Amino acid sequence: MADFSRLIAATADTIAAHAEELTALDQAIGDGDHGLNMKRGFEAVRAETEGFAAKPLPEALKAVGAKLVMTVGGASGPLFGTLFLALGKEMPVEPDRAGLATALGKAIEAVAARGKSQVGQKTMLDVLQPVYEALAQGKTAEEIADAADKAADATVPMKALRGRASFLGERSVGHMDAGARSTALLVRAVAETVEGH
Ligand code: ADP
Ligand code: MG
């Protein structure tokens, strides 16, 4: 497993580099705050890198989740927060691939419960689920990152049934979901960091 501080740097870097893109996506079918929300959250995590990286992996993930809940805001703050909190709760201290997949599967269930949402509703879950499947099938880090990008692209023709975009009904069709895109960015950052180690 890559050093936790490298994972924090990689995820915060990609969110910062794509904040304007995430904002533009959210402007099209939401309220345009997703880039700033995510950047605020991941910079707050970055600021605590030293303390978080000193913890065992499950505790570090829980600390990240709690920080995201407090700092991201919007609908996505509690959802990304829940993702990391649940990952921390389910993750072994030194996870192998199977342990990682099991933890992600349980974390996805926690996000779905928190969001009262499910796959197919044009949300972050539409990226998380294929990532879980690729992980469980033993795909490489690169393949998992590619699956995440493809899954984010696949939200374009979907009609939003959860979140702000759902208020637009049919008019949400033809745009990528912002949370799906940010999830794919996070997955690629983690995959590349783990792979490069
Ligand atoms: P807000 O919608 O409050 O402005 P953000 O713009 O930060 O919050 O986040 C929007 C993203 O959150 C959406 O693109 C979607 O992926 C995700 N999202 C919103 N509601 C839900 C939900 N109920 N379940 C899962 N994901 C959701
Ligand atoms: Mg928004």
pLDDT for residue 1 = 47
CA 129 – CA 126 distance, rounded (Å): 6
Q: pLDDT-based confidence at 197, cuts 50/70/90?
A: low
CA 60 – CA 93 distance, rounded (Å): 10
Minimal-distance CA residue to ligand 1 atom 20: 163
The CATH code of the domain that includes 67 is 1.25.40.340
**What does the pLDDT average to over 169-183?**
97
Closest CA to 139 of 100, 197, 103: 100
Which position has the token pair 């979907």? 158
Percent share of the chain, pLDDT over 90? 97
Q: Residue 90 belongs to what domain range? A: 4-195
Minimal-distance CA residue to ligand 1 atom 13: 179
pLDDT digits (tens, 9 = 90+) for 30-83: 999 999 999 999 999 999 999 999 999 999 999 999 999 999 999 999 999 999
**What does the pLDDT average to over 123-139?**
98
Mutate to test the pocket of ligand 1, among 109, 164, 181 (most ligand atoms within 8 A of CB): 164
Q: Nearest ligand, CA of residue 164?
A: 1
Q: pLDDT-based confidence at 196, cuts 50/70/90?
A: confident
CA 11 – CA 190 distance, rounded (Å): 7
Q: What's the CA-to-centroid distance between 176 and ligand 2, angstroms?
A: 13
Which position has the token pair 């999830």? 183
Which amino acid, one-letter code, is at 73? Answer: G
Q: What is the DSSP-derived secondary structure letter of residue 166?
A: G
For residue 117, the ligand 1 atom closest to its alpha carbon is 24
Per-residue pLDDT for 87 more than 90? yes
Minimal-distance CA residue to ligand 1 atom 21: 163
Mean pLDDT of all residues in the chain? 97
As for how many domains the chain has, the answer is 1
